[in-house]
Amino acid sequence: MVFLAAMTIALAGRAGAQTGRVGGTVKDEAGQPIKGATITAENPSSAPSSFTATTDDKGRFSMIGLRTGDWTFAAQAPGFSPEGTRMRIATIGQPNPPIEFKLRKAAPAPTSALGTIAAKDLQQELANADLLYNQQNWDAAIGAYRAILAKAPALSVINLQIAAAYRNKKDYDNAIAAYNELLKTDPNSDKAKIGIGMTNLEKGDIGAAEQALTKAAEGISPTREVFYNLGEVKFAKGQVDEASKWYEKAVQTDPSWGKPLLKLALVQLNKGDKEATIKSLEKVVAVDPTSQEAAQAKSLIDQLKK
């Protein structure tokens, strides 16, 4: 296990420094730009794991600092039904393609839920809160995000940012509380469920982490991230074979995702099966060539072939 941990940390240190940029537009069904729409980006396996942006008067938005990997993007605006999409963010090679959201009109929500905050004010307040977060001024960022929620309770997804700030402070109980706040309005949020599981793991409560992620995995439509992170918990417990089963389930859910494939290769490496490891690493490169995992796999292949 020592070799595996050391190799993983060393590779992650080299590849993790790269960040990417993505932008796009939010428009209504008639093709008109929506000003002040909120866009969130989530990747529980990244650090930071979430970003928030708002659109300008032409419906445009931009995010900078996303690490290589698969991100879930969601757009929402008062009076419209939210829309989501997934995209792999690359930090090298070709620019990331723009994301184009088209929101449909929705039945108006109660004023008490949406609040009365103006779109331009919301845009500025979110930008200020994000700036504080990116400056690692965690307490001020939390306060800013909570102030926005008080004015616009419908933006409950902001609890993900609040939870992330608490996790960076190592204030794990309040992070879990923030995730639970989101689950009150979105009981099916895998991001919140995974967040609870991984926060418990960071807290050192492996049993609670395993319980939270197992419950998520047994849900109606668990995502690949649920399976992968449950594998991470099993691995942390030293249950390598059990971890492999969950990594494999993540691969079955998305055969083109390099992250669990790389972990399966590292498990083989730790068992001393050099040839099988190289074949598995080559598969990572083949199915997910522009990913951070592919870069790590190439580096390992070069070392193993020396």
In a domain, 218, yes or no: no
**Which of 88, 108, 128 is at the close of a domain?**
108
In a domain, 32, yes or no: yes
CATH of residue 76? 2.60.40.1120
Q: Tell me if 183 sits within 8 A of 192, measured CB to CB.
A: yes
Local structure of residue 20 (DSSP, 8 states)? E
Q: Within this chain, do residues 132 and 86 fall inside the same structural domain, yes or no?
A: no
CB atoms within 10 A of CB 134: 13
In a domain, 118, yes or no: yes
Number of domains in the chain: 2
**Which of 169, 199, 219 is at the close of a domain?**
169
Instruction: Look at residue 32 and give its three-state secondary structure.
Output: coil
Interatomic CA distance for residues 62 and 53, integer angstroms: 7
Q: Is the pTM of this model over 0.75?
A: no
Which residue range forms the structural domain that includes residue 88? 21-108
Which phi and psi (to 5°) does residue 180 adopt? -65, -30
Q: Find tokens 């929402």 and name the residue.
A: 76
In a domain, 98, yes or no: yes
Q: Which residues fall within 8 angstroms of residue 285, CB to CB, at 6 or more apart?
A: 294, 297, 298, 301
Render each residue's pLDDT in the chain as its tens digit; 306 residues. Answer: 433 433 443 343 333 345 678 899 999 988 899 999 999 988 877 778 888 899 999 999 998 888 888 788 889 888 888 888 888 887 655 578 889 999 888 754 444 444 555 666 777 888 888 889 888 999 999 999 999 888 888 888 899 999 999 999 999 999 999 999 998 988 888 888 888 988 988 888 989 988 988 888 887 778 888 899 889 888 888 898 999 999 999 999 888 888 899 999 988 888 888 888 999 899 999 988 888 888 898 999 999 887
The token duo for 125 is 């307040």
The token duo for 199 is 């926060």
